[in-house]
A and B are shown apart, each in its own frame.
Chain A
Amino acid sequence: MDMSQYKALFLSESREYLRTIAEQVVALEQSPGERSAVDALFRGAHSLKGMAASMEYGDVVVVAHSMEDLMARVRDGATPFDAGVADLLLEGVDLIDVLLQDVEQERPSTLPTGDFAQRLATYAPAAPKAAPAEQAEAQGAAADAVPSPAPTGPAPSATAAEAAPPAPEAEKAKEPAGEAGGTVRVKTELLDHLINLTGELVTNKQRLLTIAGELASPALNDAISETAKLLRSLHDEVMKVRLMPFEAISDRFQRSVRSVAKKSGKEIHFELTGREIGLDRGMLEQLVDPLNHILRNAVDHGIEESGERERAGKPARGTVRLAVTRDRDRIQITVRDDGRGMEPATMIAAAIAKGILTPEEGELLSPRQALMLSCIPGFSTAKEVTDISGRGVGMDAVNAAIQKLGGTLGIESEPGVGTTITLRLPLTIAIIHALVVQVGQVKAAIPVNAVQRTVELSRRQIETMGKRQMFQLDDEAIPLLSLNRVLGLPLGRFPDGILPLFVTEARGRRVGIVVDRLLGQHELFVKQLGRPLSKLAGVAGGATLGDGEIVAILDLAGLL
C-alpha cells in the first residue's frame, strides 16, 4: 500500500494530538486527578503510536509508545501524576515534534529516542506517597512495561506487549477535531488565495470608483455601491473561513509560563480564557513571540518571589491571566499579573538617567506615557537582565510587532497590585484602512490605527523650542517632524501657510508628522514585499490604489 498519500494527514493529525497532549498535561498540573484529562492523554499517545506504526515511523512509535505506557500506569494508579511525569510527557511532545519535522522535510532523524523511552519506563516519583507494598508493586509493573530495546526496524509489532485496557468514559476532555459534523479540511493555501482574490477585488472596486467619479453616471454609481456591499459580505465570509481559534497557539503559552516559573523558582497560577475566540491565522502566528515575551516578563519581572508576596499580604502563588475577547471587529488580548506593578516615576527617572528624556520632558509625561517608556528601544527597568526574559528583544520589539499587525499596545499598572498589558488588534491583517498622504513625488499609506488625528496647522501656530518645532494640541506641546525629511525627500513648501499633518505616537509620546498633502482614507489590500525590500525598516508592505498607483504602507514604529 502506498503510504505516502497519507503523509500530510498523518502530520496534521499527529500535531493535533501533540497539542492535545501538551494541553492536557498543563490542565492536569492545574487540577491533578482530572480523570478525563488522564484518559485523553493516554488516548492521544495511543493514537499517535498507531498512526506512526501505520506510516512505519519507528522513532515516533518508540516515543509515543513509552508515553502511552507511562500514562497507562498513571491511569491505573501505579504512578502518581507529578511534575516529573509532566516534564517527561512534555519532553516527549517536543521530541515527537522534532521527529515530525524530520518526516516532513524527508530527512533522516538523528535524535536518540531509546534513552527517553528508558527514562519513561523506569520513572518513579521522587517522593513516593504510596504505601511500601503498593510502591513495590508499582515498580514491578513499571519494570514489566519496559519496552524491549527500541525497535530499529519499522515493524512496531515487534515492540513489547503493552497491558493497556481500554480507556473508560471520558466526558469533557478535548479531542482533536476530526471531520465532525459537516466540516471539511482545506489546504491553507486555498484560504490565502481566497483572501488574495478578495483583496484584488477591493482594489478593483476602488478603480471603478475612480472611473465613476470621472464619468458622473448615477447608474454606474449605483452598481458600484451594490458591488461594494457584496464585496464587504464576501470579505467578511472569507475572513471567517480564515479564523482559527486562539487555542491553536495557546498551549505554547501555558508551557512557556510553566517553564519560566520553574526556572525563576516562582509559583504561578496561569489562567487562560477565550481560547475559542477566532483570529486570522496569519495574525496568530505573528502573535506567538510578542505574547510569549509579555508573559515571560510578567512571570520574571512582574510577579515577586513568594516571600516578598507574603510580606505584602498577597498569596504566595502569583497569578497571570491571559484573556482573549472579541468586541465586534476588534480582538483584545490582555495579560494581567498580580505582581509588583510599575511606578511611573521610577520609569521616568530611569529614562532620564539613560539620556532618553530630558528632565523637562520627563515632567510633561502623563503616568500612562511614562509606562509606555518601556517600549522604547534599549529601555529596561529590570535591575539585571535575566536569562529568562531574554536580552535584546524587549517591549520595544513587542510593540513594533503589534503595530505591524495594525494593533496597539497599552500598559496599565498599579504599584504593588499588578500590571495589565492590553493588545487591541484588527480582525484582519490583509485588508486595512489607511490614511494616504503625498510626500514629494510619492504617495504613502499609514494604517489608521497609528493615526490619532489629522490637523491642518497654520505656520503661526508653530513654536520653536530650542532646536525643536512644536505646536499645542489639547494643552500638550507636540513636536513636529517632517515625513519628507524622514524619508529623505525634498521638503514641502506650503505656499498658503498651512501645514497638513497627522498625529501619531512614537516612543510613548505624541508627535505631529508633517506631509505635503493628506489624500484621505482608503481601504487597502496589503501585500507583503518580496526580498530584498522586505528587509526595509519602516515599510510594512505595499498596496495598489484605485488609480493603479502603488503605495508603500509605512510602519511608523520602525521608521521613527
Chain B
Amino acid sequence: MALKVMIVDDSLFMRKMLRDILVEDGYEIADEASDGVEAVAKYKECLPDLVTLDIVMPNKTGIEALQEIMAYDAGARVVMCSAIGQEALTAAATEAGAKAFILKPFNPELVTRVLREVAQG
C-alpha cells in the first residue's frame, strides 16, 4: 500500500512541485497545509506516514509545528525542508525529532531517496 505523505509549505508553487515529485514516486498525498497551525491540526486528522515540513512559514514556524507534532505523536516521521542558509537550524530540528533535512530547491532524486530512507527507518 502506498505510503501517505502530508506536505507543508506556505508556497503553493513548492507544494505543487513536491506533490508531483512524490506522486511520481508512488506516494499518496494525505493532505497539504500552508502554515504551522494548519500543519499540526491536519496531522492529527490524517495521521500521515511521512511529513515534509517547511521551516519559514506564517502563524507558526516549522520548528514549532514539529515540536507540537512530536508531542502529539512521538513516532511521527517528519522531514524538514528549507532553503539554503537554514542549515543552522538542523541541530534544533534534529533535537526536536526531525528525521532528516531536505534543501530547497528540490532535487527530485534527492527528495525521493531521503523519503525512502526515512520511511524504512
Asked if residues B14 and A43 are in contact (CB atoms below 8 Å), the reply is: no
Chain B, 58-79, CB within 8 A of any chain A CB: 58-64
For residue A46, CB closer than 8 A to chain B, the reply is yes
Q: In the assembled complex, how far is the CB of residue A38 from the closest CB belonging to chain B, in whole angstroms?
A: 12
Q: Which of B14, B32, B35, B58 contacts A50 (CB 8 A)?
A: B14
Q: In the assembled complex, how far is the CB of residue B121 from the closest CB belonging to chain A, in whole angstroms?
A: 27
For residue A51, CB closer than 8 A to chain B, the reply is yes
Asked if residues B88 and A51 are in contact (CB atoms below 8 Å), the reply is: no
Q: Which of B12, B57, B85 contacts A13 (CB 8 A)?
A: B12
For residue A204, CB closer than 8 A to chain B, the reply is no
Per-residue interface assignment for chain A, residues 49 to 66, with 1 indicating a CB less than 8 Å from any chain B CB and 0 otherwise: 111011010000000000
Asked if residues A178 and B34 are in contact (CB atoms below 8 Å), the reply is: yes
Complex contacts, B12 vs chain A, CB 8 Å? 9, 13, 178-179
Closest to B21 in A: A1
Closest to A180 in B: B34
Complex contacts, B26 vs chain A, CB 8 Å? none
For residue A170, CB closer than 8 A to chain B, the reply is yes
Chain B, 71-114, CB within 8 A of any chain A CB: 83-89, 103-106, 108
Asked if residues A165 and B88 are in contact (CB atoms below 8 Å), the reply is: yes
Closest to A56 in B: B105
Per-residue interface assignment for chain B, residues 41 to 56, with 1 indicating a CB less than 8 Å from any chain A CB and 0 otherwise: 0000000000000011
Closest to A51 in B: B13
Do A173 and B104 contact each other (CB < 8 Å), given the known contacts A156-B84, A164-B86? no
Q: In the assembled complex, how far is the CB of residue A67 from the closest CB belonging to chain B, in whole angstroms?
A: 14
Cα A179 to Cα B61 with chains together (Å): 19
What's the tally of chain A residues with a CB closer than 8 Å to chain B?
A: 36
Chain B binding surface, main DSSP class: mixed
Asked if residues A178 and B10 are in contact (CB atoms below 8 Å), the reply is: yes
Complex contacts, B85 vs chain A, CB 8 Å? 161-164
Complex contacts, A42 vs chain B, CB 8 Å? 56
Do A159 and B10 contact each other (CB < 8 Å), given the known contacts A166-B89, A180-B34? no
Chain A, 1-56, CB within 8 A of any chain B CB: 1, 6, 9-10, 13, 39-40, 42-43, 46-47, 49-51, 53-54, 56
Closest to B85 in A: A162
Asked if residues B13 and A9 are in contact (CB atoms below 8 Å), the reply is: yes
Asked if residues A167 and B106 are in contact (CB atoms below 8 Å), the reply is: no
Q: In the assembled complex, how far is the CB of residue B72 from the closest CB belonging to chain A, in whole angstroms?
A: 19
Complex contacts, A1 vs chain B, CB 8 Å? 21, 108
Chain A, 147-183, CB within 8 A of any chain B CB: 156-157, 159, 161-171, 173, 175, 178-180
Closest to B93 in A: A166
Q: In the assembled complex, how far is the CB of residue B49 from the closest CB belonging to chain A, in whole angstroms?
A: 23
User: Which 7 pairs, one residue from A and one from B, show the smallest C-beta to C-beta distance?
Assistant: A162-B85, A54-B105, A166-B61, A50-B83, A53-B105, A178-B34, A178-B12
Which residues of chain A have a CB within 8 Å of any CB of chain B?
Answer: 1, 6, 9-10, 13, 39-40, 42-43, 46-47, 49-51, 53-54, 56, 156-157, 159, 161-171, 173, 175, 178-180
Q: Can you sample 8 A-B contacts with CB below 8 Å?
A: A54-B13, A169-B60, A170-B59, A171-B59, A173-B58, A178-B34, A179-B34, A180-B34
